[in-house]
Amino acid sequence: MKQLLQNMRDGKAEVADVPVPVVRRGMALVRTATSLVSAGTERMVVEFAEKNLLEKARSRPDLVRQVLEKARREGLVSTLQAAFNRLDQSMALGYSSAGVIVEVGEGMEGFAPGDRVACAGGGYAVHAEYAVVPKNLLVKLPDNVDFESAAFTTLGAIALHGFRLTHPQVGERIAIIGLGLLGLLSVGLARAAGCQVFGVDLSPERVDLAKRMGAHAAVLRPDAESAGLAFTAGQGFDAVLICADARSSDPVTLAGTLARDRAHVVAVGAVGLDLPRKLYYEKELTFLVSRSYGPGRYDPSYEERGQDYPIGYVRWTEGRNLQAVVDLMAGGLLDVHPLISHRIPIEQGAEAYALITGKRKESFLGVLLTYPQAPEETPARRVELRPPVPAAQDQPGIGVLGAGNYALATFLPAIQRVGGVRLEGIASASGLTARHAAKKYGFRFATSQEEEILGAPEIQAVVILTRHNHHARQTLQALRAGKAVYCEKPLALTLEELDEIERALQNEDLPLLMVGFNRRFAPLAQRMKARLEGRAEPLAAHYRINAGYLPANHWTQDPAVGGGRILGEACHFVDFLTFLVGTPPVSVEARYLPDGGRYHGDNALLTLTFADGSLGTVSYLANGDRAMPKERVEVFCAGTALVLDDFTRLEVYRGNRREEVRAGGQDKGHAAAWQAFLTALKSGGTPPIPYEQLLSVSRWMIEVSRR
């Protein structure tokens, strides 16, 4: 399919061939008919992308601080690699579209293939021939609402939510400052609600258009104060909507001047927010910044998982606002056709960005992208990027499932550095990230279907880098398909999943399995282990992790998706102590700090005991400060003390002497772990991590994370 993308590093927009995304639970696959380009939001993103690195840094000092903090913790080289990797990704823009449903996922009651719908949501209603959109961000279209009108639904909902925040009453006087798309839609909505509407803008053309949209009066900015006084008979406006897009705070000052005593002022557009205190104090004005298109926005439970809010408690959610806009269009109370200035075919989509950023010297307003309407019998979920390479015995074919940030920033670079393989295919549900990874790292094809990887005869090994809830299922499918598996941790989220994998591994003919416990392969970890070889007594080890805070809505905190941070990440550190001792623990006990309404079971002390009497403790803490290095391991045994500091430095204390070994930068063993797997795969040797240890650590972590 064709999709319009924006490269965040060089600012270039392109229309690329991308695999059609896979429909997911609670979502629908929509064939797009029309999408609306946001002259505000998308222009800001495009203009940021077009800046050079210095200009980007000056415009986002908050991101610069994050990069500097990361560099202090992890080193300059790895930090720059991560930053450039983020910038190198292509961003899918667009959040307002309309089309026809071609497929629905599980749990999509109320929608069916063939339904005409309006679509909303950044990352969902994108500028692409096909899009996967969640249930609560879809609205069915009546027959009398065409796709071009429906493409304005999301922007209309943004305007409607801002309008609702003023608590309007029939007959009230509403001033609207800024008559771009949001302002003109607000004019139409306020007029439909029975209000007296007054518009203000810098452009004579927009002033005239506001009158066509139903404004009772509209004036240029220099005439606003005097005309506003006349319009309200000197009383001032009951509410003022600021829909302008300006760095200046003049719209805020003007709003205060136009407003009556104790009126509501709502900022819908992006403007300067320096409030003149005297003006706002004397009138005791209520000032609000409107957040997108209503309650539910930015709530994963509402948007991604389809959990609606009870209507008795939240009357106007973002979904109900979308429906209200469509209803107004269907009833003839809101006509957006006068707002359409351009229709651009998706194949020429980059021209839309040239238009809204001023490179094309044309006036514009509503810029629509149009899409072919002849339906494909089978949407293409695979894109070939280069011809096949003849198979070589010493270069196994590799397929990858998952193309998220970890894959792009950490693991795929490690595969590339080690070499010695044929990069065949990579899959992601969205298709877009797979296409980006395939192009960047040289895979032969990108796909949105995991079956393309699992069923490909030219692929001998599968790397699983998906979210945690997919690991066990994909591991079993790959092993049963006769492919070796490198699965990122954790291996499974439930004991039932782990039992099934353990039963499968009892088949001696099953291919190689390895879990991404990479820290045991780090160069300094290997040196630490070597200092403990031949020990004649038990050891005591303490692993402290300054993990940092993650909010409750992060996917790793979801028990059904990420399994929680103790299972999802702390397994690394239990495995590391298992590696140092050389045998699995015979017991693991966990104690948790109270969450206090802020944390999510991610402050824990784990105590490990081993058969030889060794003891280990893991302190996994989310309540620290990120300025402190993340990881520190201390080991005491037979007159020797070892300290591994964040995989950058190893200190050895023995015989009243101190020795220090530095790694030349942080190295947590990703490349070495992959090399070990690859060596075992090519030679048919023993698994790099004994299955006994791999399964034991996985089992203990599932047990202790079930609080």
- The three-state secondary structure class of 443 is coil
* Mean pLDDT of the chain, nearest integer: 92
Residue 46 confidence (pLDDT): 72
Residue 42 confidence (pLDDT): 78
Please give the share of the chain, as a percent, with pLDDT higher than 90: 82
Mean pLDDT, range 215-230, rounded to an integer:
97
Q: What is the pLDDT of residues 589-629, one digit of tens each?
A: 999 999 998 999 999 999 999 999 999 999 999 999 988 99
Instruction: Return the amino acid letter for 208.
Output: D
Residue 322 confidence (pLDDT): 98
Find the helix packing angle between 495-505 and 471-480, rounded to 10°: 20
- Cβ contact 127:18 at 8 Å: no
Of the candidates 598, 605, 593, 618, the residue with the CA atom closest to the CA atom of residue 540:
618
On the 0-12 / 13-18 / 19+ scale of CB atoms within 10 A, 596 is: exposed
User: 53 versus 688: which is more confidently predicted?
Assistant: 688
Query: Which pTM value belongs to this model?
Result: 0.88
Residue 71 confidence (pLDDT): 58
How many angstroms separate the CA atoms of 126 and 162, rounded?
Answer: 23
Q: What is the pLDDT of residues 385-434, one digit of tens each?
A: 988 777 777 899 999 999 999 999 999 999 999 999 999 999 999 999 99
Q: How far apart are the first and last CA of the chain?
A: 46
- The first and second tokens of residue 401, run together, are 């499932």
Instruction: Return the amino acid letter for 464.
Output: I
DSSP letter for each residue of 396-407:
-EEEEE--SHHI
Torsion sign over Cα 85, 88, 89, 95: positive
Residue 39 confidence (pLDDT): 79
Mean pLDDT, range 452-475, rounded to an integer:
97
Asked, as a colleague might, if the bond just before 490 is cis with ω within 30 of 0, I would say yes
Say yes or no to pLDDT of 531 above 60.
Answer: yes
Residue 486 confidence (pLDDT): 98
- Cβ contact 612:538 at 8 Å: yes
Half-sphere exposure at residue 614, Cβ-oriented, CA atoms within 13 angstroms: 28
Residue 178 confidence (pLDDT): 97
- Cβ contact 103:94 at 8 Å: no
CA-CA distances (angstroms) from residue 133 to 100, 122, 216, 271, 675?
11, 10, 38, 30, 40
Mean pLDDT, range 553-576, rounded to an integer:
95
Q: For residue 297, what is the enclosing H or E element?
A: none
**Residue-level length of the chain:** 707
Residue 64 confidence (pLDDT): 60
Q: What is the pLDDT of residues 169-180, one digit of tens each?
A: 999 999 999 999
43-63 in b/e burial notation, b at 16+ Cβ within 10 A? beebbebbeeeeebeeeeeee
Q: What is the pLDDT of residues 268-285, one digit of tens each?
A: 999 999 999 999 999 999
Cβ count near 660 (within 10 Å): 10
Q: What is the pLDDT of residues 423-447, one digit of tens each?
A: 999 999 999 999 999 999 999 999 9
- In sequence order, the 6+-apart residues with CB closer than 8 A to the CB of 443 are 385, 400, 423, 424, 425, 426, 437
On the 0-12 / 13-18 / 19+ scale of CB atoms within 10 A, 233 is: exposed
Residue 382 confidence (pLDDT): 94
- Cβ contact 683:473 at 8 Å: no
Residue 76 confidence (pLDDT): 55
- In sequence order, the 6+-apart residues with CB closer than 8 A to the CB of 392 are 422
Q: What is the pLDDT of residues 42-82, one digit of tens each?
A: 776 776 666 666 665 666 676 666 656 665 555 555 555 55
Residue 540 confidence (pLDDT): 98
Say yes or no to pLDDT of 357 above 90.
Answer: no
Mean pLDDT, range 285-289, rounded to an integer:
97
- The first and second tokens of residue 312, run together, are 């008795």
Residue 627 confidence (pLDDT): 87
How many angstroms separate the CA atoms of 287 and 289, rounded?
Answer: 7
How many angstroms separate the CA atoms of 350 and 171, rounded?
Answer: 44
- Cβ contact 671:544 at 8 Å: no
The pLDDT-based confidence of 86 (bands split at 50, 70, 90) is low
All domains in the chain, ordered by first residue: 2-152+299-370 (3.90.180.10), 171-289 (3.40.50.720), 382-513 (3.40.50.720), 519-705 (3.30.360.10)
Say yes or no to pLDDT of 202 above 70.
Answer: yes
549-563 in b/e burial notation, b at 16+ Cβ within 10 A? ebeeeebbbbeebbb
CA-CA distances (angstroms) from residue 501 to 249, 478, 505, 685?
62, 11, 6, 20
How many angstroms separate the CA atoms of 118 and 141, rounded?
Answer: 7
Residue 185 confidence (pLDDT): 97
Pairing of strands 631-637, 585-592: unpaired
Say yes or no to pLDDT of 234 above 80.
Answer: yes
Mean pLDDT, range 654-658, rounded to an integer:
95
Residue 379 confidence (pLDDT): 79
Mean pLDDT, range 498-514, rounded to an integer:
92
